[in-house]
Amino acid sequence: MRSLSIEGTWVHEPKVFPDERGSFHEWFREPDFAAAAGHPLRLAQANCSVSSRGTLRGVHFADVPPGQAKYVKCVRGAILDVVVDIRVGSPTYRQWEIVRLDDVDHHSVYLSEGLGHAFLALTDDATVVYLCSEGYAPTREHGIHPLDPDLAIDWPADITPILSPKDSAAPTLAEAEERGMLPRYEDCVSYRDQLGARRES
């Protein structure tokens, strides 16, 4: 588990063992995860999405507490996975980081509660699976427009993004902040501290 530039995010880079039959790798290891995150992964829901090239999903996030942490992997094709720091008061507020996830290197990304998440499919039939710490709760889940010019996420210029009607109608980050929709950094850190305390008790 390697830390990314935004606090509360990591990338898992497993060793892949190829042979004439195919390949094998461990895409999740609880001891490594807990050592990095400070608590075990709470698994409440597992999702799978299949996207055509150019599909852009996000930026999605949930109210904290409890938020929704995600452990994301691309099992077929390739995507650009994006973590956006939307936590008001965070040292890296408004910053984002892109990680390529594909079926060659088999990297995974973990983003903790309160962070925004989006991805762009680089291939047809890009298949993404993600483990979620909380189940789907529509009244607590929100979105920010992934093409917000103030965020200026560096999406590839040669791919025309395909957005859902819901994501197309999402507010900008500034609008979401004005409406009081965004999680506060201190609440996110406090919630994660509670998860770590439960592990130790």
- Cβ atoms of 110 and 33 closer than 8 Å: yes
Give the active site residue among 39, 71, 117, 130.
130
Tell me, yes or no, whether 69 lies in a domain: yes
Tell me, yes or no, whether 173 lies in a domain: yes
Residue with tokens 């999402």: 170
| Interval 24-52 mean pLDDT | 96
Residue 5's pLDDT is what?
A: 97
Tell me, yes or no, whether 201 lies in a domain: no
Q: Is 2 exposed, middle or buried (0-12, 13-18, 19+ CB in 10 A)?
A: exposed
Instruction: Give the total number of structural domains in the chain.
Output: 1
Tell me, yes or no, whether 121 lies in a domain: yes
Integer-rounded Cα Rg, in Å, for the chain is: 16
Residue 198's pLDDT is what?
A: 74
Q: Which of 16, 50, 42, 57 is nearest to 129 (CA)?
A: 50
Q: Which of 41, 50, 32 is nearest to 195 (CA)?
A: 41
Tell me, yes or no, whether 176 lies in a domain: yes
The residue count of the chain comes to: 201
Tell me, yes or no, whether 134 lies in a domain: yes
To 5 degrees, how large is the angle CA 163–CA 99–CA 184?
A: 75
Residue 196's pLDDT is what?
A: 86
| Interval 130-158 mean pLDDT | 97
pTM of the model: 0.94
**What range defines the domain where residue 186 resides?**
2-196
Give the active site residue among 12, 39, 60, 117.
60
43 has pLDDT over 60: yes
CATH of the domain at 166: 2.60.120.10
Residue 173's pLDDT is what?
A: 98
Tell me, yes or no, whether 103 lies in a domain: yes
| Interval 39-53 mean pLDDT | 97
130 is catalytic: yes
pLDDT in tens, 91-134: 999 999 999 999 999 999 999 999 999 999 999 999 999 999 99
Tell me, yes or no, whether 19 lies in a domain: yes
Extract the tokens encoding 151: 């965020």
Residue 197's pLDDT is what?
A: 81
39 is catalytic: no
Name the E strands within 122-183: 126-132, 141-143
44 has pLDDT over 90: yes
